Amino acid sequence: MKLTIGISPCPNDTFIFDAIFNHRLKLGDLQFEFHMLDVEQLNRAALEGRFDVTKLSYFAFTQMSDNYQMLRSGGALGHNCGPLLVSHDPLVKLDEHSRIAIPGIHTTANFLLTKAYPFLIQKTETLFSDIESAVALKKFDAGLIIHESRFTYMNKGLHLIKDLGQYWEEQTQTPIPLGGIVIKRNLPEEVKKEVNRLIAESVTYAFKNPNESKSFVQQHAQEMEEVVVNAHIALYVNSLSVDLGEQGRKGVDLMFQQLPSIGITANITQPLFVEG
């Protein structure tokens, strides 16, 4: 069976999927047609049901659980790895008129921003890699940064206003559920379980053979320095990427439970996760 799969070109995703993409594992009867898109492009593609398997923001998943089911492997969850709100002005006073650059309306980052600062309504969707420069040029009062930007924003003269990952952890005592892998609900159960197993095996392979994925990861990381690439992977890929486990599931469940607090009603289709 041939499956379309959407991932981002970010180092955590290419590290996780290298062994599948480059056929370092035995894939059996499954074939994968990969598509690489920005995180918010992936969210929108999932809303359209474009891919059989796809990476997306956990927040976006709340709007499409009728069509997709969450895999337990391949996700980005953890501690001290959440989005950061930064500004060119260390003493910025944010209010309802403040202009904020965000990486996407459907991102978990935007969920956390809305929860922490419900009065910030002047938001502009901006490609995540462009937010630092846009804020540094004072096109916005503040910007919500994700991915490798958390390692580079200080080099552009920006200042941390709030660590929204730390905010989440203080509120919930659970890992931050950033992004996960979902699969079409209408696929056979044995296919769902096999894809979940393969991704878990791919993560494990990457951990055991880190040098094998280097060229693939760097190819898609573009201008990112190797030290930043390695820090990115270390931050976003961990044991929860092999399997969510109890704590990971708890974090996801808590996010869904808190949606009404930001004015969102979501009908979560059960079962939420692929089991077995």
In angstroms, the CA 252 to CA 63 distance is 14
Confidence (pLDDT) at 228: 87
Confidence (pLDDT) at 95: 97
SS3 call for 5: strand
User: Is there a domain that residue 28 lies in?
Assistant: yes
Give the residue from 130, 157, 172 where a domain finishes. Answer: 172
Give the residue from 143, 172, 201 where a domain finishes. Answer: 172
Catalytic residues: 147
Mean pLDDT split into 10-residue runs, the chain, 276 residues: 96 97 96 96 96 96 93 94 96 97 95 96 95 97 92 94 96 94 98 98 97 94 82 93 94 91 84 89
Give the residue from 124, 150, 172 where a domain finishes. Answer: 172
Confidence (pLDDT) at 224: 75
Give me the number of domains the chain comprises.
2
Confidence (pLDDT) at 267: 73
Q: Do residue 194 and residue 161 come from a single domain?
A: no
Its domain, for residue 56, covers 2-78+176-262
Helix spans in the chain (H): 11-21, 39-47, 58-61, 108-116, 131-136, 149-152, 164-172, 189-208, 214-221, 226-236, 239-242, 245-257
User: Is there a domain that residue 275 lies in?
Assistant: no
Reduced DSSP (H G I as helix, E B as strand, rest coil) percent helix, strand, coil of the chain, to 5: 45, 20, 35
What's the CATH number where 189 sits?
3.40.190.10
In angstroms, the CA 86 to CA 141 distance is 9
Confidence (pLDDT) at 187: 98
154-179 burial code (b ≥16 CB/10 A, e <16) = eeeebeebbbbbebbbeebebbbbbb
In angstroms, the CA 165 to CA 255 distance is 13
Q: Which amino acid is at 192?
A: K
Two tokens, residue 174: 């659970």
CA 9 to chain centre: 12
Q: Do residue 148 and residue 189 come from a single domain?
A: no
Confidence (pLDDT) at 78: 87
